[in-house]
Structure 1
Amino acid sequence: MPDTADGALFDFFTAPALPAPDVPADELTGLVAREFGLRVRLRSLGSQQDQNFTAHDLDDDEPVAVLKISNPAFSAAEIDLQDRVAALLARELPDLRVGHVLRRDGRDLAGWFDTSRGRLHLRLLTVVHGRTLHGSGYLAPAVVERLGSLAAAVSGALEHVEDPAGERVLQWDLQHARRVVELLAPREPDPAVRERVLTATASALAVLEPLAERLPAQLGHFDLTDDNVVVAPGGRLPDGIVDFGDVLRSWRVGELAVTISSVLHHAGADARTTLPAVRAFDAVRSLTEEEVEALWPLVVLRGAVLVLSGRDQAVLDPTNAYAQDGLDREWRILEQAVELPLPVVTALVRNALGRSRPAPAPLTGTLLPAGTRVDVLDAGTRSPLNDLGAWTDPGTLEREARRRLRAGTADVVVLPHAVPVLTGSPTLSTEEPATVPTGVTLWAGEPFTAPAPFAGGVRPVDGGVELTGAEGVLRLSAPGLGAVEGAARAEPGRPFATVPAGRAVHVQVVRDPALVVPARVRAGHAPGWLAQVHDPAPLLGLVPAAPPTSAAEVLARRGRVLAEVQEHYYAEPPQVERGWREHLADVDGRVYLDVVNNVTSVGHAHPRIEQAAHRQLRLLNTNSRFHYAAVAEFAEKIAATLPDELDTVFLVNSGSEAVDLALRIAMAATGRRHVVAMREAYHGWTFASDAVSTSIADNPNALATRPDWVHTVDAANSYRGRHRGEDAHRYAPEAVATIRDLASRVDLAGFVAETYFGNAGGVALPPGYLREVYAAVREAGGLAVADEVQVGYGRLGHWFWGFQQQGVVPDVVAVAKSVGNGFPLGAVVTRREVADRYRTQGYFFSSTGGSPLSSVVGSTVLDVIADERLQENAAVVGGHLEQRLTGLAGKHELIGAVHGDGLYLGVEFVRDRGTLEPATAETAAICDRLLELGVVVQPTGDHQNVLKVKPPLCIARESVDFFVDALDRVLVEGW
């Protein structure tokens, strides 16, 4: 290799073989000490064409610099350009951490030196501390968005920089992609790989080359990839960049194309997941129309060049571990880049940027014989067709269509275009299912001959008929469907196809006859696919369906009319409009596993509850002060689940009201006002229940704002509290001492606590805790109030009530959530003599707590729990779930503990199992990633670092396995 210290600019096409330098590390250590005055230890870093090391201090082993040995093919002017660009970015973008040349005693620690491998350029660069996004772990949307922002910021900073060295010719410059592929493809030994690359390249160039002369060009980094951005220690979003080896002048949009291509090999990535980066880039560096069209073809070309170059380099330099390691990632980039057709991805990009092309004029003509009666079938999430779990059966659509045809009110039944279909959607799927029709499906009561809606050529195809004209290609597909004999061409109104009766016939009108469009597509991809087709509705005499209101639009409406403090799960939540058992379905037909919903204890949309409520609404629903049998029956059933002495029931509307009333009862029964509560607990939002709530997650000022009648004891958390493990037995005597001390100064009305530490994520109280504390509070003349709102009603599996796990009987029990299966209903149960003392406070009633409707619902819930053996299911399936989660804890250090019993469990995430530092940010991110994989779960606890696992009691074993497998995947792939 010639000495290029003062040579010409590099041209890949004159020197396509670039093995990386391989100077021995010990030689470099001596050179660094001699030339730069630094005594360091070197550790190799990967590079495809250069040689890189981290230089570590000999004393404390901390990294002090990055040593870069440039490939001898690159000239001094090119290397100098890299250094000047790094320095410029460090100056112009102060919030961006940039690796640049170190200076000492007024000079750069860089230069050309003689080595055993010839004359080479060495530089010591500043360390950009943190981690890169190397590997193929999951990248969250916020991370992808930041990549786009960084690319835009760098592009903007370099927009007006001109330098002759920028005209260097690198294989990575997408302006030269055609030449690179033509040079390297013949050297690719695998014919399947070669063919795949050549096909992808040809399709990309067909779109790109007509645009090339109109694409803005400038100096850029052109390697802002996952490997070259840095996330600060403890951070989540990249804020630093390294490696300026590909700086040159090229198409501006290539900066973005290179960046988003590096996203594609990451777990769960596809074209859609790159869109946050596209939007972020465009917000800063507004893309021209030509750049929008060119973007994805450039991504495809980047993938093609990476595959050929990587495989070629691996042959050329077989000892280069970095090049070898990247082969699978580079192949995945290409595979994901070509997964969707180019026009589909470009339409997705346009939709994301709000630049979709105007819809074409509706089709004209008819596909049905005159006088045909058409009935439109709704299979969406809200449709009655999908009630009572019918949507879980894929055959529901066919049966309903045939039923309507038999009824004789229509000749043809139609499933409309572009309206998401829930029917048949999988219940447990980590992938978004294909639910959006790209055409219509019709069922005919009698066979008919279809007239051509427009002029065109007719040809039979496998499984159907195509009519190709100026409007595009009309495709009819169904078993038994064929072309009219001899109809090679049809004029409007002339017969061209025979349509069978009783079969599902798929009707598509695709604008580009060369494009194959699936019958249904994912909702996330739908804007891209639907831009390639016409709505066939006018051909059937129907008005095209208006685009449905998006979930984002509904969320915006919610934000305009509801108080901000009335929160919702997730920043960008799915719009859930149906539930069934342990499943939730959104308006796009995606089904989620509900792992968090202890409100719907017996399962969503339970038919027995629906039927009982429907029947009662036909009979009577009124003020609870009227006389009717339902309230007596319900109260008897609740009392029957409790110890005999707890025999008197109050009915209310919610858990907050239940706790509030329980406290008022204790105060009235004792004639006192002071209450002791456990810290870190949440009891409700009413005045009294909020007063005894001390969870800082719900109220950061909870402890400082307690009224004077509320006193607290330590949270008896054996995992995270003051006393842990075997020392947790100390909580009870300390609480007893506090109660006795308070009793010497104030009159205690009672003690309130969850009987199982639910707010902390399902942490059991230490054995015997409530026995000692209840005895102390009673000794002081107070009452023991049990908050069973979360853990009662069989959720713990082995016990129907949480207090049973502690072997005690409280004086007052407050319960809600599970009581009404989502219907607003709660109860307070106490002894008759305690309840009677409440009369001194006046009378009590709740207009709808205990109304005929709520009583019937509550009574039916208890019947379902008993008849379907849901408490047993909580014990058996919950035990299996706990076992599997405990297995994950042995595999993943992030899991500090698995808490709970039955189907009230908590998975606590910590950054360090010794210090128990809460992994709060990680927990939120894990929940977001699980949502993408089809699981709804949320954080709890004062540090919001515990997954609260409290699904409907009917959850199946296969569903909990799905949840654990998804969680394992997230913990492996990242979040």
Structure 2
Amino acid sequence: MTETAPTPVFDYFSQVDLPTPTLSDDEVRRLFADAFGVDIDLRGLGSQQDQNFRVFRRGSSEPLGVLKLSNPVFSEAEIEMQDAAAALVAERTPHLRIPRIVEGPHGAMSTWWESSQGRIHARVIENIDGRTLMGSGYLSPAVVERMGSLSGAVSLSLADFTHPASGRVLQWDLRHAGRVIDTLLPLEPDAEVRDIVQRAADAARAALATVRDALPVQAGHFDVTDDNVLRAPGETVPDAVIDFGDVCVSWRVGEIAVTVSSILHHDDATPESALPAIRAFDRVRDLTDDEITALWPLVVLRGAVLVLSGRAQVRLDDENAYASVALDREFRILEQAASVPLPVITAATRAALGRPAANPRAWGAAPLLPEVPFVELDATTESPLNDGGAWLDAGTLDNAALDALDAGAAMVTLPAWTAQLTGTSAPFPSTAASLPTGVTVWLAEPTPLAPGDIRREGEDLVWTSADETVTITGAAAAASGVLPARTRLVLRRAIDGAIPPARTTPALAAAWREVAGDPGAAIGVPAETPVDDDVLARRHEVLAEVQEHYYAAPPRIERGWREHLIDVNGRVYLDMVNNVASVGHAHPRVVEAGSRQMHLLNTNSRFHYRAITDYADRIAATLPEGFDTVFFVNSGSEATDLAIRLAMAATGRPDIVAMREAYHGWTYASDAVSTSIADNPHALSTRPDWVHTVDAANSYRGKHRGADAEKYAPEAVAVIDELAASGRPPAGMIAETYFGNAGGVALPEGYLGAVYAAIRRHGGLAIADEVQVGYGRLGEWFWGFQQQGAVPDIVAVAKSIGGGHPLGAVVTRREIADRYRTGGYFFSSTGGSPVSSVIGMAVLDVIEQEGLQENARVVGAHLKRRLEELGKKHDLIGTVHGSGLYLGVEFVRDRETLEPATTETAAICDRLLELGVIMQPTGDHQNVLKIKPPLVVTRASVDVFVDALDRVLTTGY
């Protein structure tokens, strides 16, 4: 029987140095024409060990394909295996775009060249349209998830793939990572790099040793990374996989480990960022328990191999720009992979995959302190300790603890793993790492620690006994082992020598708690059982689907203060969109006014009490002479609805003129005049016949732009005149006085004056919708119509006037209001109630006495200047609209065509949320940032917003 000779394949350990081919462009063009019969132009592409070009037929701008000159060490069988694997994935996964060998005039463009550098294999692979994720820009959760699903799909397609060359030994095969490290580490000249790699690799190899023999093995791509996936033009997530150069047989879990590693160097990426990719892979490949255990050690080893190999390649070939540029990001991969102890990130991964969690580690030593009665403080988001902005006072927490000690408590505590808002004296920049990992303790008397090894490490005291290590912050001076009284102490338990960070994210908090145990156990404080937050799920069950909420995965906001919003986990967000909270969230004067009046009286507004009269006088006094009659309602929708009904009643006519692309409310009449397709895609086609529309007077993207915007007014006047001439003179004309739905676009100069005059000429009334823009938000003007130098007949206002309380008003002249009486009577049970009235007066007091209109002018001008500066830096910014604190940043894909960047705007808002900024899109194309923060917002806070936006536009979304 004749034995078949084994297929000769590459073995990395027999040839560690792999210099890349470096053929000149002229030689490549000549060899290409000789081999394939095509004259080409070419453009070099990066590679660590091969030489790659994008090639074009001579004079053409359309790529013919990617020319890959394989490193001479790889055999023909290995190259054939790569092509066969790519073809199989393309066949089995048709929804993925996979490149194949290009067909030329003489067949497949794949052959050997006899070059000046020896025999080199050349093949032309299809050029796949799109861009890779190369570089260190931000990857959204959706992109990360897709990378995991691509990795899983390729792995599944190759599950039964076999080939004689699949036994090749590559430095990238994670089964050999330990050998690669042992080979390259002694050659690394930088001692600090050697130390970092050694420590990380030792921990990973130890963790991997327990499961390595049980890991499933199969053929795989093993390079589904940010450099090797592409997203098609205009798409946000990748759908193509290229470069099958690392195909081999290895551990199946290595496929996702390699993908995860490539995520970690991107902007803002952490090990937690990779969890969507792992979940997506698991849905396709169902990771075993052993594979989950092996995953993160393999990610660490991949990082170590990348660092050592990249640095070795640069030492060997210092002109290889591709390898040189990658050094920093490869080092970041290793740093991030090792940034969370392996047991902790593995526990977090199991939780993310829905695998059963282990019980938290029990306390394994004698109690650290004598058992004494204790009082537990509540410093969570909703705690009364934080009312009135007290959470921003660094002394609030200690004062509360000392008060409890003075009242007789022997010990006061705050639990670990529970939100702790109190004492957050610097809320920005915001971070998702908001949960404390330590238990906080105040002692009534000096207290000795239990026997153990006690030492100082920097500002901390470290206590060790049995298998337990506890770090005590705030007790550095207590090296004698006696903890001081009436001092804030924070105790954290270590795991394998690793001390948890002071704060961590909710997902990692659960993992740290599982692995390290609850530090409260060290002092006899019972651990609190975490409760799953099901509020969002229950909201979806009990609220109508059409009653939407911001964001697909919204934070659960449970407190507001000034321009801050705080979620249930204690994370602080900057609120840049909430014009309802005009004077800031939870303003003490507004809270006190409403609370005091609730103690006295709150009732139907048809009862007789003073507050409603006083408040009506106050509102009327802010308006021009003649506005002497006020109606109170509960919302902006009701206010605009009532304003329309007033015009109809006063004129005895049914027809109303409204501007297109505007939103006025959800009640019948206010919805009828709303034509924003963002709120209702069928808005224009479903208008009742009594609504007549005029063009949106948008000087940026409307029919008339720039100086031509002066045409909007005469065209609107013509519509009004034509209606009157047809026998249907309108009852009124309703318009926002500053085009809010478009993102805060000022109406063309003189527009309102012209249309108001036209409507009155035909006996109709001018209705100003001031729901969003009124009450000083514009800075220069208290009311939007003042910017136009025009005076309406009816003003509808809401939002700002209640400071978050449901309150709206319609203000007009007595003769107009009296005509409404002929059609019956009007009342709103709680509109203008005692509580609503005193809250409304408090809001006016705050605006006037705290100079919030002036704040809107000054801070708003600074904000607009900074946003306009961003526009010079980022082409996506088409323009900046607005005045004061009523601004809009409009995003366009092209500044000439003004193609709206709708998808990009949504992604930008999502990324801003990750950075701690609340922002939402507006406009018919949802491509404008709706910038309407509380009027108390500070210059420092708007700088936080602009800096965050600049970061998003610079690093990606």
Normalised by the shorter chain, which TM-score bucket? over 0.9
Determine whether 1:939 maps to 2:935. no
Residues 245 and 353 (structure 1), Cα distance of their counterparts in 2 relative to 1, 3 Å cut = same
Q: Distance in 2 between matches of 1:391 and 1:345?
A: 31
Q: Distance in 1 between matches of 2:896 and 2:554?
A: 35
Q: Distance in 1 between matches of 2:208 and 2:328?
A: 26
SS of corresponding position for 2:53: strand
Give, in angstroms, the shift of residue 334 of structure 1.
Answer: 1.0
What are the Cα deviations for residues 534-575 of structure 1, in whole angstroms up to 9, with x where unaligned? 22445655542121333xx21111101101110111001111
Corresponding residue for residue 889 of structure 2: 907
Corresponding residue for residue 701 of structure 1: 682
Indicate the larger mover: 73-82 or 84-93: 84-93
Determine whether 1:620 maps to 2:601. yes
Amino acid at match of 1:445: A
Corresponding residue for residue 42 of structure 2: 42
Corresponding residue for residue 658 of structure 1: 639
Give, in angstroms, the shift of residue 427 of structure 1.
Answer: 4.9
CA contact under 8 A between 1:381 and 1:422: conserved in structure 2?
yes
Corresponding residue for residue 507 of structure 1: 491
What are the Cα deviations for residues 371-402 of structure 1, in whole angstroms up to 9, with x where unaligned? x3311101010000011111112221111101
Structure 1 residues 866-877: aligned runs within 5 Å? 866-877=848-859
Q: Distance in 1 between matches of 2:507 and 2:891?
A: 31
**Match 1:533 to one of 502, 510, 516:** 516
CA contact under 8 A between 1:428 and 1:959: conserved in structure 2?
no
CA contact under 8 A between 2:363 and 2:522: conserved in structure 1?
yes
SS of corresponding position for 1:121: strand
Amino acid at match of 2:499: V
Give, in angstroms, the shift of residue 214 of structure 1.
Answer: 0.6
**Match 1:473 to one of 466, 469, 473:** 469
Corresponding residue for residue 494 of structure 1: none
**Match 1:966 to one of 922, 936, 948:** 948
Corresponding residue for residue 854 of structure 1: 836
Corresponding residue for residue 735 of structure 1: 716
Give, in angstroms, the shift of residue 528 of structure 1.
Answer: 2.6
Residues 766 and 575 (structure 1), Cα distance of their counterparts in 2 relative to 1, 3 Å cut = same
Corresponding residue for residue 279 of structure 2: 279
Give, in angstroms, the shift of residue 461 of structure 1.
Answer: 4.3
- What stretches of structure 2 of length at least 5 have no aligned partner? 1-5
Amino acid at match of 1:381: T
Determine whether 1:585 maps to 2:566. yes
Corresponding residue for residue 833 of structure 1: 815
Residues 427 and 774 (structure 1), Cα distance of their counterparts in 2 relative to 1, 3 Å cut = farther
Q: Distance in 1 between matches of 2:429 and 2:265?
A: 18
Corresponding residue for residue 3 of structure 2: none
CA contact under 8 A between 2:744 and 2:887: conserved in structure 1?
yes
Determine whether 1:255 maps to 2:237. no
Structure 1 residues 262-661: aligned runs within 5 Å? 262-360=262-360, 369=370, 372-408=372-408, 410-425=409-424, 427-432=426-431, 434-449=433-448, 452=450, 457-462=452-457, 463-464=460-461, 466-469=463-466, 472-479=468-475, 482=478, 498-510=482-494, 512=495, 514-537=497-520, 542-550=525-533, 553-661=534-642
Structure 1 residues 791-870: aligned runs within 5 Å? 791-870=773-852
Corresponding residue for residue 490 of structure 1: none
CA contact under 8 A between 1:656 and 1:683: conserved in structure 2?
yes
Residues 203 and 152 (structure 1), Cα distance of their counterparts in 2 relative to 1, 3 Å cut = same
Amino acid at match of 2:80: D
SS of corresponding position for 1:884: helix
Q: Distance in 2 between matches of 1:430 and 1:100?
A: 48
Q: Distance in 2 between matches of 1:430 and 1:146?
A: 29
Q: Distance in 2 between matches of 1:499 and 1:269?
A: 39
Give, in angstroms, the shift of residue 509 of structure 1.
Answer: 4.1
Corresponding residue for residue 932 of structure 2: 950
Give, in angstroms, the shift of residue 469 of structure 1.
Answer: 2.7
SS of corresponding position for 1:97: coil
Give, in angstroms, the shift of residue 458 of structure 1.
Answer: 4.2
Residues 605 and 815 (structure 1), Cα distance of their counterparts in 2 relative to 1, 3 Å cut = same
- CA-based RMSD of the aligned residues comes to 1.7
Amino acid at match of 2:469: V
SS of corresponding position for 1:677: strand
Amino acid at match of 2:509: A
Q: Distance in 2 between matches of 1:517 and 1:73?
A: 46
Corresponding residue for residue 136 of structure 1: 136
CA contact under 8 A between 2:417 and 2:510: conserved in structure 1?
no
Give, in angstroms, the shift of residue 162 of structure 1.
Answer: 1.5
Corresponding residue for residue 124 of structure 2: 124
Corresponding residue for residue 100 of structure 2: 100
Corresponding residue for residue 679 of structure 1: 660
SS of corresponding position for 2:385: helix
Q: Distance in 2 between matches of 1:88 and 1:567?
A: 44
Give, in angstroms, the shift of residue 369 of structure 1.
Answer: 4.3
Indicate the larger mover: 902-911 or 119-128: 119-128
CA contact under 8 A between 2:370 and 2:523: conserved in structure 1?
no
Give, in angstroms, the shift of residue 346 of structure 1.
Answer: 1.0
CA contact under 8 A between 1:600 and 1:821: conserved in structure 2?
yes
CA contact under 8 A between 1:425 and 1:590: conserved in structure 2?
no
Indicate the larger mover: 722-731 or 28-37: 28-37
Corresponding residue for residue 763 of structure 2: 781
What are the Cα deviations for residues 67-104 of structure 1, in whole angstroms up to 9, with x where unaligned? 11111000011000000011111111111111111124
Corresponding residue for residue 165 of structure 1: 165
Among all aligned residue pairs of Structure 1 and Structure 2, give the percentage whose two residues are the same amino acid: 61
Give, in angstroms, the shift of residue 955 of structure 1.
Answer: 0.5
Residues 7 and 350 (structure 1), Cα distance of their counterparts in 2 relative to 1, 3 Å cut = closer
CA contact under 8 A between 2:265 and 2:332: conserved in structure 1?
yes
Residues 411 and 902 (structure 1), Cα distance of their counterparts in 2 relative to 1, 3 Å cut = same
SS of corresponding position for 1:896: strand
Give, in angstroms, the shift of residue 780 of structure 1.
Answer: 1.3
Indicate the larger mover: 162-171 or 460-469: 460-469
CA contact under 8 A between 1:311 and 1:327: conserved in structure 2?
yes
Corresponding residue for residue 72 of structure 1: 72
Give, in angstroms, the shift of residue 433 of structure 1.
Answer: 5.6
CA contact under 8 A between 2:720 and 2:729: conserved in structure 1?
no
Q: Distance in 1 between matches of 2:955 and 2:476?
A: 47
Amino acid at match of 2:926: Q
What are the Cα deviations for residues 713-733 of structure 1, in whole angstroms up to 9, with x where unaligned? 000000000000000000000
Corresponding residue for residue 868 of structure 2: 886
SS of corresponding position for 2:889: strand
Q: Distance in 2 between matches of 1:969 and 1:114?
A: 49
Corresponding residue for residue 723 of structure 1: 704
CA contact under 8 A between 1:468 and 1:513: conserved in structure 2?
no
Give, in angstroms, the shift of residue 926 of structure 1.
Answer: 0.3
| TM-score, with structure 2 as normaliser | 0.97
CA contact under 8 A between 2:171 and 2:180: conserved in structure 1?
yes
Residues 483 and 428 (structure 1), Cα distance of their counterparts in 2 relative to 1, 3 Å cut = closer
Give, in angstroms, the shift of residue 226 of structure 1.
Answer: 0.3
SS of corresponding position for 1:165: coil
Amino acid at match of 1:912: D
Indicate the larger mover: 738-747 or 33-42: 33-42
Give, in angstroms, the shift of residue 188 of structure 1.
Answer: 1.2
Give, in angstroms, the shift of residue 30 of structure 1.
Answer: 2.4
Q: Distance in 2 between matches of 1:67 and 1:826?
A: 68
| TM-score, with structure 1 as normaliser | 0.95
SS of corresponding position for 2:767: strand
